[in-house]
Chain A
Amino acid sequence: MIHPILALSLSLFLAVILLSAASHKLRARDRFARQLADYALLPESTIGWAARLLPALEVLVGVALLVPALRTVGAIAAALLLVLYSAAIAINLLRGRRDIDCGCSGPGLERPLGAPLIVRNAVLLGMAALVALPASHAALHGFGLFLIAACVATGLMLYTATEGLLANQPRLDSLSRR
């Protein structure tokens, strides 16, 4: 049993991340298809199809996380999606293909594949696992709601900041390499 404040904060956080990821992918579908092709995991003929399916799945999972009755299902689906992405990244890391764009953040945040991505996905996976646990029934009132909003806002800002740091790292390296 986890406290509803924790369950709600985490599910809101995950939902926002999934929905924003889906919106990047839907807004630049060609770019996402190219990124998928660079991963070199799917046969060429299925790439166009997968480039539409993955963002649609992300939207579905994100919405499911927001609906209380579907939260557990949504959390499990989110975890599966994260495992799938991590596996794709891990396979390409093992192949030594570090120079492809990970396609994991929005435009302007292109960065090569690397171990930090696996760590990020593991953290998100842990959150999804917590959300999948049943939440206790405690009544939420003023301060509880404030706490949820504050946790989600802070979490999202720190997440964006970390993404930014990771995206800046290779640029910094290429500047100081001489």
Chain B
Amino acid sequence: MDVALISQILLWIVVMVLAFVVMALIRQVGVLHSRIAPAGALILDKGVAVSSPAPQVTAADRHERPVNIGYKGEKGQLLFFLSPTCPICKSLLPSLRSLARSYREDLDVIYVSDGDASSQQALIAEHGLEHATYVVGPEIGMTYQVGKLPYAVLIDADGVLRAKGLVNNREHLESLFEAQAMGVGSLQEYMQDKPRAAQ
């Protein structure tokens, strides 16, 4: 075997090992990302501040029954803003239904959407939301200044806004409840306040 051939073989082995190392590194970065991904529902700095009274608004649901939002009541409210044209909203609906079931005692889930009635009807039929409180109209979204979907707002029984944010997965939804329990608006706020508290 001449030296050139040996060198070729060795170089190929080195290239393969290097490619493996690069792949493994990127895989590890991906795992790290998925560990820190449930960073909480993202708050876009608009609308009402967390821990202040929620704006009071009354809208008619799709059966023309009035729905009061932001008033004192027996239960808290979770507003879920969605649209039939948003794929992520639809993928969250099963999680939301199970959350609604487990917090049934102290939380009303209100679905808020806007737009074309026939596609709303299709969405309601597909996800079994016939008995849910489902509001179609722009009033609530405008009052709470919702810019991006899917968006969720958590209001407690005293009518105080406890948490809000853009929710892209079940962890984000659950983080709203976590935020309520800790009395912190969002992870971002928590991270910002922590260094200050330590000083």
Contacts and interface: CB of A to CB of B under 8 A. Distances in A.
Given A99-B88, A146-B9, A175-B36, A154 B29 contact: no
Contacts of A161: 19, 22-23, 26
B87 A150 contact: no
A167 interface: yes
Contact of A143 (B5, B20, B36): B5
Nearest to B26: A164
**Residue with the highest number of chain B CB atoms closer than 10 Å, among A38, A108, A147, A157:** A157
A160 B23 contact: yes
A174 B167 CA distance: 13
B33 A165 contact: no
**Residue with the highest number of chain A CB atoms closer than 10 Å, among B5, B22, B42, B91:** B22
B34 interface: yes
B23 A164 contact: yes
A88 B53 CA distance: 47
A167 B22 contact: no
Contacts of A157: 16, 19-20, 22-23
B67 interface: no
A146 B22 contact: no
Given A146-B9, A147-B12, A171-B37, A158 B87 contact: no
A168 interface: yes
A87 interface: no
A172 interface: yes
Contacts of B132: none
Q: Which bucket holds chain A's interface residue count?
A: 20 to 34
B63 to A, nearest CB: 27
A178 interface: yes
A150 B27 CA distance: 21
Given A164-B23, A178-B188, A154 B33 contact: no
B48 interface: no
Interface in A119-171: 143, 146-147, 150, 153-154, 157-158, 160-161, 164-165, 167-168, 171
Interface of B: 5, 8-9, 12-13, 15-16, 19-20, 22-23, 26-27, 29-30, 33-34, 36-37, 39, 42, 86-88, 91, 188
21 contacts: A34-B91, A38-B87, A99-B87, A143-B5, A143-B8, A150-B12, A153-B16, A154-B19, A157-B16, A157-B19, A157-B20, A158-B19, A158-B22, A160-B23, A161-B19, A161-B23, A164-B23, A168-B26, A168-B29, A171-B34, A172-B33
